[in-house]
Amino acid sequence: MKINIYYGGRGVLDDPTLYVLKEIEKVLSELRVEIQRFNIYEYKNEISTLPQTIKDVDGIILATTVEWLGIGGHMNEFLDACWLYGNKEELSRIYMMPIVMSTTYGEREGMLTLENAWEILGGIPCSGLCGYVTDKQDFEESKEYARIIEKKAEDMYRTISQRTKGLPTSNYAVKQTVLHAEQMDLTPQEREQLSQFVSDDNYVKQQKVDIKELSSMYRELMGKNSEEQLGFIEKFKSKFTPSEDFSASYLFAIDGENKPLYISVTPEGMEAEYEAHDDVDVYAKLTTKVLMDITSGRETFQRAFGVGDMTAKGNLRILRMLDTIFDFID
């Protein structure tokens, strides 16, 4: 059996959660469980890549400390990353035990937050452990508290070993009907690559610089729209299908044209013009022939990008939406 521990506290010496984790690790080690701990504060610049560590494990422990309000920023960021970049199919079979210790107030609410989050992610929550600690020394010296912690570790081991199932909850229904994880329809490999790019500040900054430089190349170029240019705009408008809660901007640099084609879409409508814009979500480059094939229904944006007939920089998910909001294939 393999269990990962994700600690979302600050790592201070008087954090009671660290003592609880030490005792739980001791029990699980005696049960021959393979344990790996990730202190999230040590990965604060690459939290988006941490969901990729939840692979080939049977269960995880989410542990944090309430010091003034809620479960804290590091654990929230980690759960956000699981929602955005985690492999939902992988998460759905993993058991999670929440541990929330408090030095102020809100340990029960914190534990409930972790349970709800894991259920909405599709995983299976185990019975958790929470407590309020005023004197760390008394807490650590109490044999009764140590037995409670030991029993919780054993309960988690039995739950995972027996693959215990729970009754259905409304969180699952909420996930299916309200929260749409399908908004980012990426493969596990694409999610992993995207999470690595997001965590790389230099990459993100360079992407913004590239888009700004490439689009600004056209600011001084002058020229009138040709009939073919106007024809492209009309074709985009005729095939536009708005998507709920989706807004984006695209800049197409077309070989042979003086100015790029700018398209902005919202749930209410779209705008299109031949003009350079600095702040866009996706910058694409292609030839007139490729764009004509796409708008005539003989090609798609995704296939053109896949075979290299169109190059693009920017948000990968927004690029993939082009074929959805502009369906040129009848």
Where do the CATH 3.30.1050.10 domains begin and end in the chain? 200-325
> Which tokens in the block code for residue 293?
């094939």
Task: Give residue 199's identity as a one-letter amino acid code.
Answer: S
**How far apart, in whole angstroms, are the C-alpha atoms of residue 138 and residue 45?**
36
Q: pLDDT at position 45, please? A: 86
User: For residue 281, what pLDDT is reported?
Assistant: 94
Per-residue pLDDT at 109? 95
Question: CA-to-CA distance for 298 and 126, rounded, in angstroms?
Answer: 52
Whether residue 234 is predicted with pLDDT greater than 80 in this model: the reply is yes
What percent helix, strand, coil does the chain show, rounded to 5? 50, 20, 35
Span 71-122, pLDDT tens digits: 988 999 999 999 988 888 899 999 999 999 999 999 999 999 999 999 999 9
At residue 16, φ and ψ (nearest 5 deg) are: -65, -25
Whether the Cβ atoms of residue 323 and residue 330 lie closer than 8 Å to each other: no
pTM beyond 0.85: the answer is no
DSSP element (H, E) containing 265: strand 261-266
Q: Assign domain 200-325 to its CATH architecture.
A: 2-Layer Sandwich (3.30)
- The rounded distance, in Å, linking the Cα atoms of 105 and 70 is 9
Convert the pLDDT of each residue in 30-87 to its tens digit.
999 999 999 999 998 889 899 999 989 999 999 999 988 889 889 999 999 999 888 8
Write out the residue limits of the CATH 3.40.50.360 domain(s) in the chain. Answer: 2-183
The gap from C-alpha 287 to its chain's centroid, in whole angstroms, comes to: 34
Whole-angstrom CA distances from 209 to 90, 255, 282 are: 36, 21, 13
How far is residue 81 from each of residues 7, 75, 169, 294, 320, measured CA to CA in Å? 15, 10, 23, 35, 20
What pLDDT digit, counting tens, does each position of 315-327 carry? Answer: 888 999 999 999 9
Q: Which amino acid is at 281?
A: D
Token code pair at residue 294 = 């796409």
pLDDT of 25 above 90: yes
Quote the pLDDT of residue 55. Answer: 87
Write the pLDDT tens digit of every residue in 173-182: 666 665 554 4
Q: Are 310 and 286 in contact (CB under 8 A)?
A: yes
The pLDDT confidence band at residue 148, using thresholds 50, 70 and 90, is very high
Is the per-residue pLDDT at 256 higher than 60? yes
Q: What is the pLDDT of residue 261?
A: 93
Burial of 96 by CB count in 10 Å (0-12 exposed, 13-18 middle, 19+ buried)?
buried
Q: Can you name the CATH fold of 2-183?
A: Rossmann fold (3.40.50)
In 3D space, the residue among 285, 288, 290 whose CA is nearest the CA of residue 311 turns out to be 285
| DSSP states of 161-181 | HTT------HHHHHHHHT--G
